[in-house]
């Protein structure tokens, strides 16, 4: 009969950190992070308030960790989709797969994205800045990938930035609409269908665009 391996100190620390993040998400369901105290979080996790500081410097740093957690895997998945196929006929497929991934990711991490939707406008300044930074990273990465696609090779950097801004903000709006449509699958499907049509329209129109020559 094999014995259960005792939990290491690092594993205990990681488990407690995860519990703090999950507790913060739960406690913020009906209010902003600005109303949350570390005592509330510590009490929910079952640690002393000073134990909170072994994992996070402040409530704001906890919020920034949640922001990073929400965006990191989504950015990586969308990046992979855009690089799967760069042929001109693949634009519709890239749009469709990107929306599909967004829908799946929001459903899987609904609490995270509900947190992002709230804190984007109502959160502490540092957390709002972190969210803006993540959205800006999405735009920059998308602009870089758009520059590799046929039809955009003569575009200016500013025009690539404008197009990536349009696409990313459309996806942010879609994510927020999906959160609001919780437990209403028909409405969520309608939102996804609208997002696909909207993004296809943006891409089709963009492919007809020609940047002005620099003077």
Query: Does residue 215 fall inside a structural domain?
Result: no
Give yes or no: residues 99 and 139 share one domain: yes
Per-residue pLDDT of 55-92, as tens digits, reads: 999 999 999 999 998 888 777 777 777 666 545 446 77
For the beta carbon of residue 142, count every other beta carbon within 10 angstroms: 24
6 DSSP assignment: P
- CATH code of the domain covering residue 85: 1.10.357.10
88 DSSP assignment: G
| Number of domain units in the chain | 2
Give yes or no: residues 104 and 12 share one domain: no
Give yes or no: residues 21 and 120 share one domain: no
Give yes or no: residues 49 and 68 share one domain: no
Give yes or no: residues 118 and 197 share one domain: yes
> For a pLDDT cut of 70, what percent of the chain falls above it?
92
Give yes or no: residues 91 and 182 share one domain: yes
Q: Is 19 helix (H, G, I), strand (E, B) or coil?
A: helix
Give yes or no: residues 40 and 128 share one domain: no
**Structural domain boundaries, residue 49:** 8-56
Backbone angles phi, psi at 198, to 5 degrees: -60, -45
Give the chain's residues under pLDDT 50. Answer: 1, 86, 88-89
- Which two tokens mark 100? 């599909």
Question: Which of 166-174's residues contact partners 24+ apart within 8 Å by CB, and which partners?
Answer: 166/202, 167/142, 167/199, 167/202, 168/135, 168/138, 168/139, 168/142, 169/135, 170/195, 170/198, 170/199, 170/202, 171/98, 171/99, 171/102, 171/195, 171/199, 172/135, 174/99, 174/102
For the beta carbon of residue 5, count every other beta carbon within 10 angstroms: 7
Contact 63, 21 (CB under 8 A): no
Give yes or no: residues 48 and 131 share one domain: no
Give yes or no: residues 191 and 141 share one domain: yes
CA neighbor of 123 nearest in space, from 67, 54, 175: 67
Query: Does residue 214 fall inside a structural domain?
Result: no
In angstroms, the CA 119 to CA 68 distance is 13
User: How far, rounded to the nearest angstrom, does the alpha carbon of residue 141 sit from its chain's CA centroid?
Assistant: 13
- CATH code of the domain covering residue 23: 1.10.10.60
Give yes or no: residues 29 and 65 share one domain: no
- Which two tokens mark 8? 């290491």
Q: Can you give the pTM of this predicted structure?
A: 0.81
Which pLDDT belongs to residue 125? 93
Give yes or no: residues 22 and 120 share one domain: no
């Amino acid at each position: 009969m094999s014995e259960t391996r005792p939990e290491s100190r690092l594993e205990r620390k990681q488990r407690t950190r995860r519990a703090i993040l999950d507790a913060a998400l739960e406690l913020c369901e009906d209010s902003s992070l600005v109303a949350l105290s570390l005592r509330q979080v510590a009490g929910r996790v079952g640690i002393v308030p000073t134990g909170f500081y072994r994992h996070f410097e402040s409530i704001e740093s906890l919020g920034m960790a949640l922001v990073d957690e929400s965006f990191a895997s989504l950015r990586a998945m969308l990046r992979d989709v855009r690089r799967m196929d760069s042929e001109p006929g693949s634009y519709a497929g890239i749009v469709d797969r990107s929306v599909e991934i967004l829908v799946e990711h929001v459903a899987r991490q609904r609490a995270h994205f509900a947190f992002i939707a709230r804190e984007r406008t109502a959160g502490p300044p540092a957390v709002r800045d972190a969210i803006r930074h993540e959205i800006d990273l999405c735009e920059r990465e998308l602009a870089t990938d758009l520059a590799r696609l046929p039809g955009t090779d003569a575009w200016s950097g500013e025009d690539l930035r404008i197009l990536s801004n349009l696409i990313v903000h459309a996806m942010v709006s879609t994510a927020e609409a999906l959160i609001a449509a919780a437990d209403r699958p028909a409405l969520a499907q309608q939102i996804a269908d609208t997002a696909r049509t909207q993004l296809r329209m943006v891409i089709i129109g963009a492919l007809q665009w020609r940047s002005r020559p620099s003077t």
